[in-house]
Structure 1
C-alpha cells in the first residue's frame, strides 16, 4: 500500500537552486533507493522531474513572494509483479494562506502589482478598510519609489563620458618627472621657448592686464617670460602639485599665486579674468570645448584667450618609425604616440566655445638629438609620455631597436643626429563685447568689384 513520507522528508522545489536528488549532508528527503518512473524504470539524476516554474514578477525566487510554497514528494509502491514504482505528488498550500505576510502578503513585499492581483490580496486590502482610492494611491507611491531607484541604479551603472586620455596617468607622469629635479630642469628648453612666444603674443596686445591665469602652468615657464610691465598678477594652475612647487623658491618679476587645479575643469568666478593663457597643456584635455566654454565665462567682456598646443604633425618622424617597426616585427600597428589635434579643427573649436575674432598660426620647432633613445628619454623627463587610455604598457627591445634604425635611415642628418619636429598651434580668441569691430552687413558695399577690375585693366 502506497504511503507518503513524513513532512520532514519532503523536497521543497520553490526556488531555482533546489537540486534533485538532494545530497545526504543537507536537509531534505533522500530516498532509500532510486525513484522509479511510472514505466518502472529508474529515474536518472540527469533527468529530474519538472520543477515548479519560478515567479515571473521580478526575477526573484518564488519563495520570497509566497511564504507557503508548494511541496513535492515521491509516493512509492509495488505493482502486480512486485516491482517498485514511484510518482511525484505535489501538495498545494491552502488558498487562504497563499498571500500571507504583513498587510497584503510576502508575495507583494517587492511588487505592488503582485499584491493587487495575486490570490486574495485585493480582498485582504479591502478587508483592512482601504478604499479603492487609497489602494491606487499606495500603488502609485510604490511604483514612483521603484522608478526612482531604478533610474538611480541605471545612472550609477551608466558608462562614463568618452575619454581618450587617462588624466590620472598624466598627473602621475608629471609628478614623477618633476620629482627628478635636475633631469626635469634640463628638458625645460622646449616649454621655455613656447612660453616666450606666447608672452610675445600677449605683449602684442596694447593693454595692461590686472589678473592673468596660466592654465597648465607646469613648473612656471610663463612666469619666467613675463614682467610687471605686462600684468600685475599671474595665477598658475596645474594639476600636479610636484611640478607646480618644483621651483617654489624662485623669484619672478610679477606677483604669482599657485593653485592645484585640473586644467580640464577650470573653476573661476564669472567675468573676473582679463586674460587666460595656456602653454603646451591643452593637448592632454579630453573635453576641449567644455574647457574653452569655462574660460569664456571667466573672462571679462573683451577679454582674450591665448593658447598653445602641440599639433597633429608633431613627432611625425617618431610616429612613422614606430609604425614601420611594429609592422615589421609584429605585423600590426600599436598606439605608441598620443593623438593630437589638427590645425583645421581649431577654428571651429574657438567658434564653438563662443569666442570671436579668432586667429590661428603654426610654428614648427625642430630639435636635434643624438638618437631616438635620447628623444624618448627627454619626452619622459618632460612628463609628456603616452597617456592614451588603451595604450600599451611596454615596447619590445627588438621593436625599439628596429624603430631606431628606421628613424636614422629615413630622417637622420648627415652629422649622425636625428631631427624631431614639434608643431605648435597658437590660437587667440576674444570674448564678445559691443566695442569690438564687426563686419558690415551683407549687401552694404558701395563699390562693385567688376567696375574696379575694369578700371584697373584699362590702366594696364
Structure 2
C-alpha cells in the first residue's frame, strides 16, 4: 500500500522560510494566530505541566506563552530557520515519547505536512491522558481569489493550468481527522481574515515575506511569464475588486482542538438511552409523519 502523496516539497518550504527572513518577515497573520491561540488557551481553566510548541515558524507564540501560570515547562520544536527552538524536527516524524506532554500548540504550521492524519495520530500518542491539542492552520478558503485568478490567467496564456496555491484542508475534514486520530471532544471553527491590497503584486510580495510562496512538489519550475502575470492582474481586478478599487485576499485560519481520552471526560449517551421524549421536552403534541 502506498504512503501519503508528497504534495509539499520540504526543501522548497525551507528555502521559502529562509528567503522570508532575509527579506524581513511579514507577521500580521502570525500575530493574529498566536494571540488567538493564547486567548483560546486562556478559556481552559487548568495547568499544563509540560507543553510543546510544534512547528510554529515564528518565536512569537512561544514568547506570548512564556511565563504563563497555566504552563510549567514550555519547549519549542520547529524548523531550523527559527533560532529559539529546543530541537529541529522532521514534522512528519515527531520525537515525542508516548504520553510525555500535557499540551501541544501549533500556529500556521500543520497545513504543509504531507501526512496530516499521521501527524495527528503521533500527537495523540504523545499526549498524556486528558492532554490537549490546540492548533491553527490555513484552511481551504485561503487565497481562493488568487487560486481562481491564476487558473484563468494560465489557461488563457498557456492553454493549461499548474498548481500555484496549496490545497489546504476543509474544516469538516479536519474534524473527521481529529476523531480518526483518537482525540476526544474534537472542536473545529474558522477565522476568516480578508486583507485588501492596492494590486496583486503587493499580495505576492507579502506571501514571499510570509515564507508562503508556492511550495508544491508539482509546481511549474519555469519563471512566471510576463503575459501570464499581466493576465493575472487583469482577472484579479475584474473579479475581486471592491468599489474603491482595492483587491480582496482571503486567509482562512482553521482552528482545531481535541483531548487525549480520559475517564473524567463527558461521554455521549448510548443510542436509545434517553428517558424523556423529545415531544415532552419541547412541550408539543406528538404526531405522526405524513403517510406513516
Q: TM-score, normalised by structure 2?
A: 0.91
* C-alpha displacement of 1:457: 5.4
Deviation per residue, 1:140-168 (Å, 9 max, x gap): xxxxxxxxxxxxxxxxxx98753111112
- Match of 2:86, SS state, is strand
Q: Does 1:235 align with 2:63?
A: no
Deviation per residue, 1:36-80 (Å, 9 max, x gap): xxxxxxxxxxxxxxxxxxxxxxxxxxxxxxxxxxxxxxxxxxxxx
Distance 1:237 1:452 in 2: 50
- Evaluate the alpha carbon distance shift between residue 417 and residue 382 of structure 1 in structure 2; reply closer, same or farther with a 3 A threshold: same
2:19–2:208 CA contact under 8 A, matched in 1: no
Q: Does 1:368 align with 2:208?
A: no
Number of equivalenced pairs: 284
Deviation per residue, 1:249-277 (Å, 9 max, x gap): xxxxxxxx622112222111211111001
Q: Does 1:438 align with 2:267?
A: yes
* Residue aligning to 2:184: 356
Q: Does 1:176 align with 2:19?
A: yes
List aligned pairs for 1:49-198, cutoff 5 A: 162-180=5-23, 183-184=24-25, 187-198=26-37
Q: Does 1:377 align with 2:205?
A: yes
* Residue aligning to 1:220: 59
* Residue aligning to 2:40: 201
* C-alpha displacement of 1:229: 2.4
Distance 1:269 1:179 in 2: 35
* C-alpha displacement of 1:381: 1.2
Distance 1:304 1:295 in 2: 10
- Match of 1:456, SS state, is coil
- Match of 2:257, SS state, is strand
Deviates more, 1:196-205 or 1:229-238: 229-238
Distance 2:284 2:3 in 1: 62
Larger RCO, structure (CA 8 Å, separation 6 or more): 2
For residue 337 of structure 1, the aligned residue among 165, 168, 173 is: 165
Distance 1:229 1:419 in 2: 40
Deviation per residue, 1:384-424 (Å, 9 max, x gap): 11111111122111111111121112111233321111011
Bigger Rg, which one:
1
* Residue aligning to 1:401: 230
Name the Cα RMSD after superposition: 1.9
- Structure 1 runs of 4+ aligned residues shifted over 6 Å read none
- Match of 1:419, SS state, is strand
* C-alpha displacement of 1:313: 1.0
Distance 1:358 1:281 in 2: 19
1:267–1:294 CA contact under 8 A, matched in 2: no
1:237–1:263 CA contact under 8 A, matched in 2: no
- Evaluate the alpha carbon distance shift between residue 342 and residue 160 of structure 1 in structure 2; reply closer, same or farther with a 3 A threshold: closer
